[in-house]
Chain A
Amino acid sequence: MSQDSIHGHPEVVTTHEVHHDEHHGHHKETFITKYVFSQDHKMIAKQFLITGMVWAVLGGLMSVLFRLQLGYPNETFPWLEDILGRWAKGGRISVENYYSLVTMHGTVLVFFVLTGGLSGTFANFLIPLQIGARDMASPFLNMLSYWFFFGGSIVILASFFVQTGPFSGGWTFYPPLSALGDASPGSKIGADLWIIGMALFVVSSLLGGLNYISTILNMRTKGMSMSRVPLTVWALLFTAVLGVLSFPVLLSGLILLLFDRHAGTSFYLSDIFIAGKALPNEGGSAILFQHLFWFLGHPEVYIIILPAMGLVSEIMAVNCRKPIFGYMAMVGSMFAIAILAFLVWAHHMFVTGLNPFLGSVFVLLTLLIAVPSAIKVFNWLTTMWRGNIRFTPAMMFAVGFVSLFISGGLTGIFLGNSTLDIQLHDTYFVIAHFHIVMGVSAFFGMFAGVYHWFPKMYGRYMNNTLAYIHFWVTLVGAYLIFWPMHYEGLAAMPRRYMDYSAWSSFNQFEGLNQFISTVAIIVFAVQLLFLFNFFYSIFKGRRVTSQNPYGATTLEWTTPIRPGHGNWPGEIPEVHRWAYDYGKDDRSFIPQTEPIGAHESKH
């Protein structure tokens, strides 16, 4: 434990026995227990973050490779063969590998970056620090959660190096492509590795989720009622609840799929011909898998976006020097989103032959999500309204998040209509919608969180100039990449195809596709700048010299600049007020630990 940088309360830095029943901090820490098999939530958070970054680079690189094909379908790039070998014979990505790339791009980004990397990082880092706990309810399960995530990562990564390649039937893993080894090269061992990797991932997120929920509900410090916790904690609570209830359903779907693959059952298979040969499977239903998948899959998109919403709410309040507008409305709308998340899954299946009446029910429920989403957007805008805004990089990304969430959310209203979906489903319109509303905006929430809490994580600041370049290029680039895709989608250009030259009607988009690909490459390069900034700043960044550099109210800024395992060297502070007393009674901020004064006005 580093206790050299403690400010403020010298009287508590004595030999008090302040540790609760775990007795951590008494052991001598070795490299292995401190950096590898660590049970400290802060170290586990960093492990999730850096693993997520590795995955984000790999997943982003995959998109660069297939965008190269989409933008320049007639060109060959001999250097691709030098790097990728048999994946790009003659300088062009082969057909199977193109499909593997789009499939694994989706899997990696959705699960391993924006679920594991995002909520894994910030739930671990912020929950104990912001509620005033020394660690998670079970630090050991928390460590296991990371190592299951790591194991799943290794298995998924291994599938790139098998002879037949990784799975290639789309990240949604629909049978029969995923159920029959003969369906495609990627459906062989690659699909098995996908299932194993995802099963490990599910175990990881269940262990994590159980921990997050029981920590939030049981281990808050004295005075920290649920109506006083920062919105990040609420968001992470709803995220964990969604994960705990929806991932098991995906697991049961995958178990049935495993039996179809290897034990001769026909849960999902019926009337199938491969290469002119009829298969014996009868009576299965491929739609059944879609129901089980999307019962997870829809809550999954909220698992991705809710943590980002929480981070943005907190960062906005700190940097606008104003209380968050409508705290209870924020909590209520997140609750509504969490409930509705389980009631809208069939809007992914409007064109699968779903009963049109049932479809109309799902349209109604889907469009209802616009209500809590709009409440949240208005609350963010009114928080900024007449605020004394500090445009730190974190705040810039938070504002960018709101912009992207609005732009992407509006196209969700189009897609939520089952009639419009007949035209729009499986087109670039869908790609544009979900990349903006959940992909890029969740990334913006994550970047905001990293820039904002980096000083707490490493005791140093990141470089602001690089951060502003990163922000502007990413924001402008994200719009330039995905905005034109709406037009392509409205013109019915289907997703997932490798080469559109067979359709003369899509020739008009040749220049547009080149443009999108070029911007995508630039934006990818700028993310490397962010990584450089991150790793450089860990070692060489400007040192944090004050305990509470932002003037924030929440508890994580009452810990030492580099908190050890156990977070507070003395007693855990007691909480007397909510997390958003900014700009009150002519004071810039009042920390949560300060008792309510005699003449204080009510908020």
Chain B
Amino acid sequence: MTEMVSTQRKKIHPHKFAMWLGIGSIIMMFAGLTSAYIVKQSQAEWTTVVIPKIFYYSTAVMLLSSLTMQMALKSFKERNMNQYRLLVSLTALLGFGFIAMQIIGFLQLTSDGFRLEGSGAAAFLYVIFGLHALHVLGGAVALMVMLVRAFSIRIRNYNPVPVEVASTYWHFVDLLWVYLFIFFLWRV
């Protein structure tokens, strides 16, 4: 059995590697969207948008959640399971808080008169931020699943790979948000 495993070259766990590739393809998707924004901006009838203050706060929440995720990973590796459960729930909560704040931001934009209809920056903002929020939602749900598994008495699992994959993804959606937010602050 041990000999078998050693014949498989495992410099990096295939699941982690697949996550990095998946991140690459998500990057391509948002690169497509933001470059569409740039192309579109140089054309006639472009309308701009005023970005609500709440997106600054949601940025802070997202950055904070990255910190708690990193601490969760650390405590998992130290087998400090109580702290790990606490920190993962906190990360997931901050994720849901982020999504709630994005929705509040969308509602503010709508009440300020920036509607989805049309062809300007507002339409791109709704679509791009909305797609990003969906990616955060997917990550938060994955964290919830991990949390449930961490509370399970039947399965004792100290394999760090799923936690590492989740934290990689979580830091990625955090960085993706920072990129998108700066992109909009810079281009609007």
- A residues apposed to B, CB below 8 Å: 17-21, 133, 137-138, 141, 206, 209-211, 213-215, 217-222, 244-249, 251-253, 255-256, 259, 263-267, 269-270, 281-285, 288, 291-292, 295, 571-572, 574
Contact = CB atoms under 8 A, between A and B. Distances in A.
Given A137-B14, A283-B46, A247 B7 contact: no
Given A218-B11, A292-B36, A283 B24 contact: no
Contacts of B1: 17
A133 B127 contact: no
Contacts of A213: 17-18, 21
Nearest to A246: B28
A217 B9 CA distance: 9
Given A18-B4, A252-B30, A138 B15 contact: yes
A219 B36 contact: no
Majority-rule SS of B interface residues: helix
Nearest to A249: B32
Contact of B17 (A18, A218, A263, A270): A218
A267 B123 CA distance: 8
A18 to B, nearest CB: 6
Contact of A220 (B9, B36, B131): B9
B44 A214 contact: no
23 contacts: A18-B4, A21-B5, A133-B8, A138-B14, A214-B14, A218-B12, A219-B8, A244-B21, A245-B25, A247-B25, A248-B28, A249-B28, A253-B32, A256-B127, A266-B117, A266-B119, A267-B123, A282-B119, A283-B46, A288-B36, A288-B40, A571-B7, A574-B7
Given A244-B21, A259-B127, A283 B44 contact: yes
A138 B28 CA distance: 23
A248 B25 contact: yes
Contacts of A295: 32
Given A206-B22, A270-B45, A218 B10 contact: yes
Interface of B: 1, 3-5, 7-15, 17-18, 21-22, 24-26, 28-33, 36, 39-40, 43-47, 116-120, 123, 127, 131
A20 B29 contact: no
Given A218-B11, A255-B131, A259-B127, A137 B43 contact: no
A244 B24 contact: yes
A385 B100 CA distance: 68
Contacts, number: 139
A288 B29 contact: no
Contacts of B28: 244-246, 248-249
A263 B117 contact: yes
A141 B46 CA distance: 42
Contacts of B119: 265-267, 269-270, 281-284
A245 B31 CA distance: 11
A15 to B, nearest CB: 12
A217 B8 CA distance: 11
Nearest to B9: A220
Contacts of B3: 571
Nearest to B123: A265
Given A244-B25, A248-B26, A255-B127, A292 B40 contact: no
Given A138-B14, A214-B14, A572 B7 contact: yes
Contacts of B118: 264-266, 282-283
B175 to A, nearest CB: 17
Given A220-B9, A244-B25, A248-B29, 11 more contacts: A17-B1, A206-B22, A209-B21, A218-B12, A244-B21, A249-B32, A256-B127, A266-B119, A267-B36, A283-B44, A285-B40
